[in-house]
A and B are shown apart, each in its own frame.
Chain A
Amino acid sequence: MTPVIRARGLVKDYGPVRALRGVDLEVHPGEVFGFLGPNGAGKSTTIRLLVDLLRPTAGTVEVFGLTPAAGGAELRMRIGYLPGELAFPARLDAGEYLRHLAALRGGRGRPRIDELAQRFSLDLSRPLQALSKGNRQKVGLVQAFMHEPDLLVLDEPTSGLDPLLQREFRLLAQKSVARGATLFLSSHMLGEVEEVAGRVAIIREGRVVDVDDVRALRARAGQQVLLRFAEPVSLAEFDSLPGVQDAVLDPSDGVSLSCLLRGDPMPLLLAAARHRVVRWQVQDRELEDLFLDFYRAPDRTPPRDSATSGPAGTETGTETGTEKEAAR
């Protein structure tokens, strides 16, 4: 089966600046593919090559087996594109603009404007220039989804959306996959794609440094754990537990333990339960921390031993950024 997106050694220069240094990618039909990297890593450049705004300096990129330049307008009919930064023309209201964009798709998508606007509670009669960041993002999402494209290329799709609308976006994404579409989502935050994406590629400084299952990636990223005990504990009880790294005991009081947890949390929980725990805080680590691991590890890859952790490891992963205080 032809990959929906295939990039081989993709290089893109802006004048003397090399933005992409040989990107290799393969996205298969029907998958939700996350494209993660810090700002400036080359995400938007790659995406703009897919919709033929840019042309490669070297290497090849194909969408549905065609180069974007050769595929032209017919190929773009099959793509729904959400730019990372939306800019709208003056003196139009949201409905007028969306109807114009539908007309550019040969009228396809026009019947779905109202339904999609309702889903995102977007007021179509508002002037574009008066829209808030979140409402602008809604207009961008409606135009990307309205013509039911075979491929959705979405640059930071949920930025500016509140949690309720992020959920609406996820439902819409799932519906699109159910009808056979492929999704390519870029983000600088793992949390933004992890609930919808299957596989994830990580791009850094113009290169794809890793492609992996999103759950494995989350398990590898691990969590930062902070424990406080009622009375001083010994570091030796914790620093050699499986899955526990960088355990540090606050020397001033001897009761605050911080560590990095990768994989199964049970050994740490059992060890902690031998003492009276007064505070238990877990923070999912973000992509930036993963990149720090790339720098730190001698072989430039984070340890994989804990990547195969069971459901317990991913279970805690869904508690993004939450704090749990043990009752006293």
Chain B
Amino acid sequence: MTAREGGRATTAPAGTVLTGVLRTRRRSLVLWAVAVSAVATLYTAFYPSIGGDKMAVMMQSMPPGFITAMGFDSISTAAGYVSSTVYSLLGAILTLVCAIGLGARLIAGDEEDGTLELELSAPVSRLQLYLERLAVLWVGVLVLVVALSTVLAVLSVLLELELSPVNLIAAGTGLLLFGGALGTVAFATGAATGRRGTALAVSAAAAVVAYLLSYLGPLVDAPWMEDLSPFHWYIGGRPLSTGFDWSGLGLLAALALVAALGGAASFTRRDLMV
């Protein structure tokens, strides 16, 4: 009976799931990219008026512990300022919220609302579906990071911030891996459980713990806290000032890989749409 297939494809060609899902998500991804870029622009545009010496004076009035905790040590330089405001604060938070939300929705959310059923029953293997939907997550985070980095590169020229292009790429790579890794935790948890709420809770908790460990570590003089924090892996090496921090990037990639493998192992075995 299989003779009827002739020479035609007997399963879905690679990339079909990816392009199909991207088509339904493109609008919200563009909105996220605009939001992240706008926040980065707002913060950075303020630097010439409050940065440099003025910022240094302001810092002197703050308690040293607070400055350390918030990572404001080098805030009087342009790279330090952009790193503290954009990469450590709102840029990172927005990227995380987008990545975790998208990660939790891509399998668990679509499974819960039933939209995954026709794709799962199509001639696509579960592993292919899993990998291509995971790729949607990474493409999504990449879009945000590219938009953010491009805006900062342009502002750096316009406002003469002298941000190094290599360091911008290093920080962008860090943000991609940080958002991507925690988004993958959400994705994999959702793929393993089929519950979007569980996926959101686990990954959001991981993100909060990562922040807390990174902020509290220096205050209580416990370097092991920072060593365990994905947030520290991402920003602890100050990539916008010093360039690529390969060990931090490696740890983030490892976190993403471990989460992705665990999720795939569970997703290919469990009951779906229950």
Chain A positions near chain B (C-beta within 8 angstroms) = 14, 48, 51-55, 64, 72-74, 76-79, 81, 83, 85-92, 96, 100-101, 103-108, 143, 150
Contacts and interface: CB of A to CB of B under 8 A. Distances in A.
A76 B122 contact: yes
B24 interface: yes
Contacts of B1: 64, 78, 150
A252 to B, nearest CB: 52
Interface string B108-146: 001001110111111111001000000000000000000
A93 B130 CA distance: 24
Interface residues of B, number: 35
A173 to B, nearest CB: 19
B270 to A, nearest CB: 8
Contacts of A14: 271, 274
A143 B118 contact: yes
Contacts of A143: 118
A86 B11 CA distance: 23
Contacts, number: 99
Given A74-B11, A106-B11, A100 B20 contact: yes
B63 interface: no
Nearest to B5: A77
B121 A51 contact: yes
B254 interface: no
Contacts of A107: 8-9
Given A53-B120, A91-B24, 11 more contacts: A51-B120, A53-B117, A54-B271, A76-B122, A76-B123, A77-B11, A78-B1, A88-B115, A101-B122, A105-B122, A106-B12
B242 to A, nearest CB: 42
B249 interface: no
Contacts of B115: 87-89
Contacts of B16: 100, 103-104
B124 A104 contact: yes
Interface string B1-22: 1001100111111001101100
A77 B17 contact: no
B272 A74 contact: no
A96 B128 CA distance: 21
Contacts of A87: 113-115, 117
B125 A106 contact: no
Contacts of A100: 16, 20, 23
Contacts of B17: 104
B119 A104 contact: yes
22 contacts: A14-B271, A53-B121, A54-B271, A54-B272, A73-B123, A73-B128, A74-B123, A79-B121, A83-B121, A86-B118, A87-B114, A87-B117, A103-B12, A104-B16, A104-B17, A104-B119, A104-B124, A105-B122, A105-B123, A106-B8, A106-B10, A150-B4
